[in-house]
Amino acid sequence: MDYFLDFYDDRSYCICMTKKQRIQDTREKILQQGVDLLSEYGYHGTGLKMILDAAQVPKGSFYNYFESKEQFTVEVIRAYNDSLMKQFDRYVEESPQDELGTIKSMYHHVLDRAEERECLKGCLLGDLAAEIGGQSRSCEEALRQAFREWQNRMVRLIKKGQKSGSIRNDLPAEHLAEIFLNHWEGALLRMKVDRDTANARQTLDSMLDVLFKN
């Protein structure tokens, strides 16, 4: 009898864990579709039905996974930024170039990817900041945190470049990082309007070859 109870308990635990895993997997699938759709259509242009259809999740089940569209958007921002920062770290770690060259090649690579998507998707962080900034405190805080993480990484990379001599050191790394991110986000917004990366590439090269170069 004791053996039977142990087996029953273990099985219940496994079933419970399997159910929890299914829920988590579904949430991840919805979030991934959210990243893609919000990047292309924006917050107001993306309906819940569109998200659920793309994720192949039954209609009406959205609130089983997220409290609201606002809370869903907060989690999308976090998921998007986590992925972005992992890609940033991996690119920097694997780059054979100096710090200035790494920044230039990294962001030209981003523009190459944008061209493959016909410039329909820019940076989700910048797009959402422009669209719903001032409308949602929770989304604002998620965006601020994402930008802080991104800027902190840029600051660390710029400081390394200043020490190695590839980046000018007469301006604080924090200042250079802020200028870079502000111009970059503006260039991506312009790219989506123009459906062309030429202006963004010119802005990128001007910043790095003129403003950043030692």
pLDDT digit of tens for each residue in the chain (214 aa)? 343 334 444 555 454 557 677 778 888 999 999 999 999 899 999 999 999 999 888 878 888 899 999 999 999 999 999 999 999 999 999 999 999 999 999 999 999 999 998 888 889 999 999 999 888 999 999 999 999 999 999 999 999 999 999 999 999 999 999 999 999 999 999 999 999 999 999 999 999 999 999 8
48-55 helix and 2-45 helix, angle to the nearest 10 degrees: 130
The fold of the 1-66 domain, in CATH, is: Arc Repressor Mutant, subunit A (1.10.10)
DSSP H helices, the chain, are: 2-45, 48-55, 69-94, 99-116, 124-132, 137-164, 173-194, 198-206
Give the HSE-up count for residue 12: Cα atoms under 13 Å, Cβ half-sphere.
6
Give the span between the Cα atoms of 208 and 98, in whole angstroms: 13
* Sequence ranges of the chain with CATH classification 1.10.357.10: 69-214
CATH superfamily, domain 69-214, is Tetracycline Repressor, domain 2 (1.10.357.10)
